[in-house]
Amino acid sequence: MSIAQPLDQPAPPPPHSSETLSPRRGGPNTLDVTIVLPCYNEQEHVMAEIERISAAMDASGFSYELLVIDDKSTDNTLAVLQQALPRFPNMRLMPFRRNGGSGTARRIGTGEAYGRFVVWTDADMTYPNERIPEFVQYLLDNPDVDQVVGARTTEQGTHKFLRVPAKWVIRKVAERLAATKIPDLNSGLRAFRRDVSLPYLRLLPPGFSCVTTITMSFLSNQHPVDYLPIDYAKRAGTSKFHFVKDAYRYILQVLRMVMYFNPIKVLMPLALWVLFFGIVKGVYDLVRWDLRVTTSTLLLVLSSLIIGSMALLADLIVRSRAET
């Protein structure tokens, strides 16, 4: 891993911000890095994760804060975190009064972050959080990259025999819609430039699909996203992932993001395919029914015109929204 470049030496600033790196705390961009760590019922292992992250960041030379968000845990996670505060001067604790989901925690944490770079990760011991400085350094070394994602090389989650094919299908759909290769669509370990992410925070859903949303938001708006291969360990504690519900949400979020930023890419191919089948059916009807067409053929053609009109109207709305 490359050593973080000293922040007191001149360095070309990233194209997205003119802020100077500073160890002071007091508002956005007054620190180098904010690590957003959502916690929900992680009492058995959260301290091991905090110690691992803190040790890596202390050795990196970056000024940082570890923003730990307790998502209204029902065990003793909050008490454990409160007792740890005096030991970790770079740790900031944000307890929620009600459970909002990991997406809500990441959205609020990013909005409240003091760091110029924001890192998302989990507290379940699955991600190699000792590599967080490497992700931040990658953004510093590549000022044209706005987000770097940890691409998992193995799958260790629950329902593995269902998750692997389902995630592959969802990822291929996302790659088709985003017109780019996506090695890992929903990795929980990523670093990005905070100021670039701000316009998209309001789009983040409350659940796990927030990681899919931030990826698709960046890709749909031509913000470069790179990937670093990472190992993925078996999680500690109990998984909060629900296969059917969360897989459905992932698919919905992919379609929603592309519809939000580039609706013509979803609707126009559908309109053209429906029109194609309508024309083929029309030719068949003319031959089969003595130059007459059936009602189903007319419905296909009319449906294609309606969907195509919706695609053009939606594209016009998106373009006018971007200009305001």
CATH number at residue 147: 3.90.550.10
Residue 150 inside a domain? The answer is yes
pTM comes to 0.76
Residue 24 inside a domain? The answer is no
C-alpha distance from residue 78 to each of 43, 44, 71, 149, 208 (Å)? 8, 12, 9, 29, 21
Asked if residue 281 and residue 227 are part of one domain, the reply reads: no
Q: pLDDT: is 57 or 323 the higher one?
A: 57
Asked if residue 142 and residue 93 are part of one domain, the reply reads: yes
Provide the domain limits for residue 175: 31-261
Asked if residue 120 and residue 254 are part of one domain, the reply reads: yes
SS3 167: helix
Cα atoms in the 13 Å half-sphere on the side-chain side of 59: 14
Give percent above pLDDT 70 in the chain.
Answer: 81
Asked if residue 202 and residue 134 are part of one domain, the reply reads: yes
What pLDDT, on the 0 to 100 scale, is given for residue 238? Answer: 59
Domains contained in the chain, number? 2
pLDDT at residue 253 above 90? no
Cα separation, 79 vs 75, whole angstroms: 9
Helices (H), the chain: 46-60, 77-84, 102-111, 132-141, 160-178, 194-197, 210-220, 243-261, 264-288, 295-323
Cα separation, 66 vs 113, whole angstroms: 9
Q: pLDDT: is 205 or 193 the higher one?
A: 193
- First-to-last alpha carbon distance for the chain, in angstroms, is 43
What pLDDT, on the 0 to 100 scale, is given for residue 54? Answer: 97
Cα separation, 189 vs 131, whole angstroms: 10
| Residue 143 and residue 15 in contact, taking contact as beta carbons nearer than 8 Å | yes
- pLDDT tens digit string along 12-33? 333 333 333 434 456 788 899 9
- pLDDT tens digit string along 137-161? 999 999 999 999 999 987 655 555 5
- pLDDT tens digit string along 45-97? 999 999 999 999 999 999 999 999 999 999 999 999 999 999 999 999 999 99
- pLDDT tens digit string along 228-245? 999 988 766 555 555 566
Residue 13 inside a domain? The answer is no
